[in-house]
Amino acid sequence: MNISKKVALFTPLLLLLAFSCKTETKEEKQTVNYAKELHSYARPNISAIKHLNLDIDVNFDTEVISGKATYTIENNNASNIILDTKFLEIDKVEADGKETTFKLGEFDEQLGQSLSIDITNTTKTITVSYKTTDKTEALQWLSPQQTADKKYPFLFTQGQAILTRTWIPIQDSPQIRITYDATVRVPKELMAVMSAENPKTKTADGVYSFKMKQPISPYLMALAIGDIEYKAVSNRTGVYAEKSMVDKAHFEFSDMEKMVVAAENLYGDYDWEQFDVIVLPPSFPFGGMENPRLTFATPTVIAGDKSLTSLIAHELAHSWSGNLVTNATWDDFWLNEGFTVYFEIRIMEAVYGKDRANMIALIGRQDLDDEIETLKKEPNRTKLKQDLKGKSPDDAMNSIAYDKGYLFLRTLEQTVGREKFDVFLKDYFKTHAFSTITTEKFLNYLNANLLEPNNVTFNTEEWIYQPGIPSNQAIISSDKFANAEKAIQQFLKSDTIDASITKDWTTLEWVHFIRNFPKTMTAEDMSRFDDAFDLSNSTNSHIAMVWFEQAINLDYHGNHVDQNIENFLIRVGRRWYVDTLFKAFKRNDKVEEALAIYEKSRANYHSVTANTIDELFGLDKH
């Protein structure tokens, strides 16, 4: 046996030794023990990125981002470091400033390619020079026509769940935490903002510098560039939007500071200093995305009456559940979203009262029943803890994580009492701040800190590891919704509609009213309701969406509803809306109609939405 073989044999032992020494020397940072990860090629136990310095040019003519990503790394005696990439062109790689060799692994449709970089056990930094390509999935480049003001192009990124690797080579696992600085060069008519400390005005030269000093997970890296302005709501909250939207956004979100105060009163200080929202063009594929310090939001929440702002409470809540305490793997996604829905509804209760909070909860409860019905042939997918081996993280992104997660926490709250539950949650966020958590770790923490000390027995394992809804579920009810249901019956029974019943209804009552039309309702009834309330022309996106869905279900075509559906699907790229409507077409054997619209709308969608709809109709990726 030659020496090098001996060394190779002993390497694991040496590593172990190095590892145990590490925990003993206080000056050295404790190495995190990373959980098994299905959706990243990185092996952070051997070498992990800690800080990113990003230096990029954004070219709107060629629609390419190019530049350098320099990482400070934690090196546990490694001979290489592995990053995730997808659809990136790698030009050159350096280790401590000297060019080094690298290898791109085989391409996987979901995960992309590993980028294995040769380093030595003393390497402290690596630099990757790269470019994005036209396949890059995180980015959506918008023409002026696709913006509110129609003058300048726009660009935004969407990182969650595993798309950051398509615009930055990175260790793209939620268990990784990095701080970052960035220099971003953009056309000087435009402003750039990131999930970081942000400018409030444009610079003269189009060069922007950013700093994120708290460690965040890679899926929270975010960048938006457009002809935008800032308007403060309070000294730590405010909105970014295009000129024609900024006052509307400022009015709509004028309760932001109240929400932050309510959140802090519940579960401890807001740790990120600033909480701003950027209102993006309508193709943004989500309602909201909780990028730290700067939530990205769809303009479809701007209803003119603050009726859809629970979305802001939701994204704000992620500043604790998600951004501070992060799901370790996408199998644990319910820890992000279930806690966030619970927290969102508590914020809404604190700011607007119990009625509104309960209506939000009940809408989610109904979504949960619908989801369980949809998944009736795949009951394993109704477990909170998911098993995504061989699957896309997108598979876990449904009502189970959100609404079953919520129902679990609400049932726990009801069992132990709100007072104890709030103390527990506040401690939970504090204890796990800036770290990641697996379902198992949460379970242990719950037993040790809430259930055992209070002598409570609770079927936690059933809630987390079994399909469906356990029988001890909390019952959610709302008098207002009960009245809306009565109104349906009343209007269906009589020839004339007494519209006065609805005069104090809020958006949520309208949504509930429309969603609960009986399956036997006729197109004539739809027409009578439309005459009374002009729902086909509603300017509230949520009301319009559920009404459109019913028009498709019940074969109603009056009052320009078909044209409005088509226009809506062409303008709005919010996946939840688009998916709901295309699914309704499909369910009702109207695929041809749907595809005629999709032909016109697809080019406006971000890849996240386009991929979902392609899959729905079994289309090949274009």
Q: Decide if 402 is catalytic.
A: yes
Q: Closest CB to ligand BES belongs to which residue? A: 287
Q: How many residues does the chain have?
A: 622
Name the segment binding ligand BES (CB under 6 A); options: 65-73, 241-249, 285-293, 580-588: 285-293
Work out how close the CB of 315 gets to Zn ion at its nearest, in angstroms, rounded to a whole number: 7
Neighbours of 378 (CB within 10 A): 10
Tokens of 22: 């590490």
DSSP secondary-structure letter at 64? Answer: E
- Among Zn ion, ligand BES, none, what does residue 397 contact (CB within 5–8 Å per kind)? ligand BES
- Among Zn ion, ligand BES, none, what does residue 161 contact (CB within 5–8 Å per kind)? ligand BES
The verdict on 512 binding ligand BES (CB under 6 A) reads no
DSSP secondary-structure letter at 170? Answer: B
Name the segment binding ligand BES (CB under 6 A); options: 53-61, 286-294, 412-420, 485-493: 286-294
Residues with Cβ within 8 Å of 200's Cβ and at least 6 positions away in sequence, in order, are: 230, 232
- Is the Cβ of residue 337 or residue 509 nearer to Zn ion in the bound state? 337
Among candidate residues 144, 164, 166, the one with its CA nearest the CA of residue 154: 144
Query: What gap in Å lies between CA 173 and CA 218, rounded to an integer?
Result: 7
The verdict on 287 binding ligand BES (CB under 6 A) reads yes
Burial 453-469 (b: 16+ CB within 10 A, else e): eeeeebebeebbebbeb
The verdict on 606 binding ligand BES (CB under 6 A) reads no
- Among ligand BES, Zn ion, none, what does residue 174 contact (CB within 5–8 Å per kind)? none
The verdict on 309 binding ligand BES (CB under 6 A) reads no
Binders of ligand BES among residues 364 to 403 (CB under 6 A) are: 397
Name the segment binding ligand BES (CB under 6 A); options: 49-57, 61-69, 309-317, 472-480: 309-317
Amino acid at 299: P
Name the segment binding ligand BES (CB under 6 A); options: 98-106, 308-316, 349-357, 375-383: 308-316
Binders of Zn ion among residues 329 to 348 (CB under 5 A) are: 337, 340
Question: 315, 344, 349, 549: which one is catalytic?
Answer: 315
Query: What gap in Å lies between CA 134 and CA 142, rounded to an integer?
Result: 13
Is residue 489 within 8 Å of residue 464, measured between CB atoms? no
Work out how close the CB of 189 gets to ligand BES at its nearest, in angstroms, rounded to a whole number: 29
Local structure of 2: helix, strand or coil: coil
DSSP secondary-structure letter at 538? Answer: -
Kindly give the residue spans of alpha helices, DSSP state H, lying in 447-478.
460-465
Tokens of 390: 């061989």
Is residue 329 within 8 Å of residue 36, measured between CB atoms? yes
Question: 180, 230, 402, 598: which one is catalytic?
Answer: 402
Is residue 71 within 8 Å of residue 51, measured between CB atoms? yes
Work out how close the CB of 157 gets to ligand BES at its nearest, in angstroms, rounded to a whole number: 12
Work out how close the CB of 274 gets to ligand BES at its nearest, in angstroms, rounded to a whole number: 18
Work out how close the CB of 14 gets to Zn ion at its nearest, in angstroms, rounded to a whole number: 43
Work out how close the CB of 245 gets to ligand BES at its nearest, in angstroms, rounded to a whole number: 18
Amino acid at 234: S
- Among Zn ion, ligand BES, none, what does residue 286 contact (CB within 5–8 Å per kind)? ligand BES
Interface residue with ligand BES, options 252, 276, 290, 509 (CB under 6 A): 290
Among candidate residues 126, 117, 123, 127, the one with its CA nearest the CA of residue 43: 117
Work out how close the CB of 152 gets to ligand BES at its nearest, in angstroms, rounded to a whole number: 25
Query: What gap in Å lies between CA 296 and CA 608, rounded to an integer?
Result: 15
- Is the Cβ of residue 325 or residue 451 nearer to ligand BES in the bound state? 325
Q: What are phi and psi of 502, to 5 degrees?
A: -95, 5
Size of the site for ligand BES (CB under 6 A): 14
Work out how close the CB of 271 gets to ligand BES at its nearest, in angstroms, rounded to a whole number: 18
- Among Zn ion, ligand BES, none, what does residue 302 contact (CB within 5–8 Å per kind)? none
Among candidate residues 178, 183, 166, the one with its CA nearest the CA of residue 218: 178
Sign of CA dihedral 169, 177, 261, 308: positive
Query: What gap in Å lies between CA 178 and CA 172, rounded to an integer?
Result: 11
- Is the Cβ of residue 337 or residue 403 nearer to Zn ion in the bound state? 337
Work out how close the CB of 574 gets to Zn ion at its nearest, in angstroms, rounded to a whole number: 14
The verdict on 315 binding ligand BES (CB under 6 A) reads yes
Binders of Zn ion among residues 593 to 612 (CB under 5 A) are: none
The verdict on 289 binding ligand BES (CB under 6 A) reads yes
DSSP secondary-structure letter at 235? Answer: S
Task: Compose the 547-576 pattern: x for residues touching ligand BES by CB under 6 A, - for all others.
Answer: -----------------------------x
The verdict on 311 binding ligand BES (CB under 6 A) reads yes
- Among ligand BES, Zn ion, none, what does residue 576 contact (CB within 5–8 Å per kind)? ligand BES
- Is the Cβ of residue 152 or residue 275 nearer to Zn ion in the bound state? 275
Tokens of 150: 């129609």
Place of tokens 């090196």: 75
- Among ligand BES, Zn ion, none, what does residue 605 contact (CB within 5–8 Å per kind)? none
The verdict on 160 binding ligand BES (CB under 6 A) reads yes
Among candidate residues 592, 585, 584, 538, the one with its CA nearest the CA of residue 560: 538
Give the H or E element holding residue 232: strand 228-232
CA distances from 584 to 150, 522, 550, 555 (A): 32, 16, 8, 11
Binding site for Zn ion (CB under 5 A): 337, 340
What amino acid positions are annotated as catalytic residues? 315, 402
Binding site for ligand BES (CB under 6 A): 160-161, 286-290, 311, 314-315, 318, 337, 397, 576
